[in-house]
Structure 1
Amino acid sequence: MTGLGAVFRPQLAPERLRSVARAADEAGLEELWLWEDCFREGGVSTAAAALAWTERVRVGVGLLPVPLRNVALTAMEASSLHRMFPGRPLLALGHGVQDWMGQVGARAESPVTLLREHLDALRALLRGERLTVEGRYVRLDDVALDWPPDGPVPVIAGVTGPRSLRLSGASADGTLLTASTPPDGVRRARQLVDEGRSAAGRTDAEPHPIVVYLLAATGPDGPERVRAELAAEGVASVPGLGVAGDAKAVAEAVRRYAEAGADTVVLQPTGDEPDPEGFVRFVAEEVRQLVP
């Protein structure tokens, strides 16, 4: 079955999250994803709150920029969330927007190297290993978690370029793609991820799920809002991006992504979505029943 989720956009004030998270949980939404966009809302703090306010919905952070975090802190926070809310947190890590990283003095000379070192160390720490690492960016001296997770914790990489997609296959447990990825881009991403898995000898490992955001809007002004956002992102000319319409139209777009290789499609409302609670109910109650 194709997984289905929705995004709580950080253009909404943090205090709005409670009502959206509860609406998602009550409607039976599978996944609610949050963003740590600079300089809006913290990913771990909002995820912890959303998890505490709900009972069933999985809560993803897509994504945590690794230049902002020491890997030991990432491991501590990830493990704490998984021990308090087993099976429900989903954490994706990525390079971060380089201009934003420059604004806070955290821009790395080699973002790919930093992400690889962070992913490798994080996954080891979450497995309960004790690490001493002397990398270009990640340096640990006899570090282990006092409270490691009780079971396996998948670590997702949010990436776009070919090198980073191969890195995700080699060093992550799943890949998150942006809403600027058309169905053909999902196919290409799957190929590159598989190349990375093969090069790392991970072909017999657990499946590597692909998660992709899909910009979506409903209502009479939906097409206009989707067009405006795609134009603002500079991707209006890319075919296959975004969908506007009723549940049937949205479900058909989700199926196109699933056929291209996406395991989970996360519907991303426009930044000016007028009814975020209604949007998550629309995804859970109307779109879900039309997506196999």
Structure 2
Amino acid sequence: MRIGQHIITAGSATVAEFGAHAADAKARGYDSGWTNQQPGGWDPLAVLAAMPDSPPELGTAVVPTYPRHPVVMATEALTTQAITGGKLTLGIGPSHEWAMTGQLGLPYASPARHTREYLEVLRPLLRGEHVKYAGRFFTVDTQLAISAPEPPVLISALGPRMLDVARELADGTIALWVQPGLIADYLVPRLGDDSRVVVMVTVSITTDPGGVRENFARELAIVNELPAYRAILDRGGLSGPADTVIAGNDEEVAAELRRFADADATDLVVNAIGDPGERARALDLVPQVFTG
């Protein structure tokens, strides 16, 4: 199993901190570092250029599709790919109506169909092909002239229709708010053997796992109101995102982490929470579990 570290790119973070976190992930033996688009945060692709001392893979989990035309996404992705020396894995997704329409005023129509068309334009552009396309959402007649290798593309697929799109047009899915049983019984069978299943997990080394989960539940209460997330939680029989937090002592956390490998997840991307000492212990533990 490949292991990655979530590199927070919220508005309060600095460019120097991005580079330091990426270097830390590399020094600890992580295979990858991942950013995402946070409200008010930095551009998730552009900040990867600020990580010259980084793990072998740099990924986005994820960049929202609705605000970026696929030609713009392909241009930015290939530019980032060239700057990072071929390290990029491009993770994209439709995000949520709450963010796209509520915050940005963009129509959030047919996200699965939108994502399918998006990939039908994006992927050949990333390969350097001329794209002439006419669909419901996109009409394109162009080609890019950027010399960079095609990056792998993952999508944030959780529902059946989105997983079909991931299987047919992407290299896999980026999943969160899932436990190992759902990965083994639902995600992996729908995607097939050749797809990556990149799972985002929150980890805490703590003597108070109940308290950690209570705080997490309060801070992430919005997750329960987002239909795609609520659906995957219900499918897994979970009351909320706090049920997916891996918390406890070293042995308890290690045992839970190993279950993801047993479920055939291909990648585990860790978001370590707690005070600096607890975060450091969690980030040190993960490579030991899978390489020790």
**How high is the TM-score relative to the length of structure 1?**
0.83
**Cα gap change, 1:281/1:55 in structure 2, threshold over 3 Å: closer, same or farther?**
farther
Residues 1:85 and 2:84 are matched in the alignment: yes
CA contact (8 A) 1:10 1:35 kept: yes
**Correspondence for 1:33:** 34
Q: Which residue of 2 aligns with 1:62?
A: 61
User: In the alignment, which residue of structure 2 is the partner of 1:104?
Assistant: 104
Deviation larger for 86-95 or 235-244: 235-244
TM-superposed CA distance for 1:39, in Å, is 2.8
CA contact (8 A) 2:33 2:57 kept: yes
1:159 maps to 2:162? no
Q: What's the C-alpha RMSD, in Å, of the aligned pairs?
A: 2.4
Q: Which protein has greater RCO, CA pairs closer than 8 Å, 6+ apart?
A: 1
Give the drift of 1:12: 6.7
Residue 253 (structure 1) shift: 1.5
Shift of 1:55: 4.2
Structure 1 runs not aligned, ≥5 long = 195-202
Alignment correspondent of 1:123: 123
Alignment of 1:183 onto 2:180: yes
Asked if 1 retains the 8 angstrom alpha-carbon contact of 2:208 and 2:248, the reply is: no
- The CA deviation string for residues 100-143 of structure 1, in whole angstroms up to 9 with x for no partner, is 100212233111111111112111111111011111112211x1
Aligned equivalents of 2:64, 2:105: Cα separation in 1: 13
Q: Work out whether 1:145 is the aligned partner of 2:132.
A: no
Counterpart CA distance in 1 for 2:156 and 2:280 is 22
**Residue 258, structure 1, aligned to residue 261, structure 2:** yes
CA distance in 2, matches of 1:82, 1:191: 31
Q: Is the 8 A contact 1:20 1:280 kept in 2?
A: no
Indicate the residue corresponding to 1:42 in structure 2.
43
Deviations 1:165-215 (A, max 9, x none): 11111110111101x112122120122223xxxxxxxx8xxx211100111
Displacement after TM superposition at 1:237 (Å): 3.0
Alignment gaps of 5+ in structure 2: 225-232
Matches of 1:11 and 1:219, distance apart in 2? 24
User: Cα gap change, 1:29/1:228 in structure 2, threshold over 3 Å: closer, same or farther?
Assistant: same
Equivalent-residue separation in structure 2 for 1:167 and 1:8 (angstroms)? 27
- Structure 1 stretch 9-18 or stretch 127-136: which is displaced more? 9-18
C-alpha separation between the residues in 1 aligned to 2:70 and 2:245?
34
Q: Which amino acid aligns with 2:132?
A: T
Alpha-carbon contact 1:213-1:268 (below 8 Å) kept: yes
* Aligned-pair CA distance for 1:148: 4.1
Separation in structure 1 between the aligned mates of residue 139 and residue 275 of structure 2, nearest angstrom: 45
- Alpha-carbon spacing, 1:255–1:269, altered in 2? closer, same or farther (3 Å): same
1:200-219 mapped onto 2 (5 Å cutoff)? 207-219=194-206
Taking the aligned partners of 1:280 and 1:148, their CA distance within structure 2 comes to: 39
Aligned residues: 271
Deviation at 1:263, TM superposition (A): 0.4
Name the SS of the counterpart of 1:43 in structure 2: coil
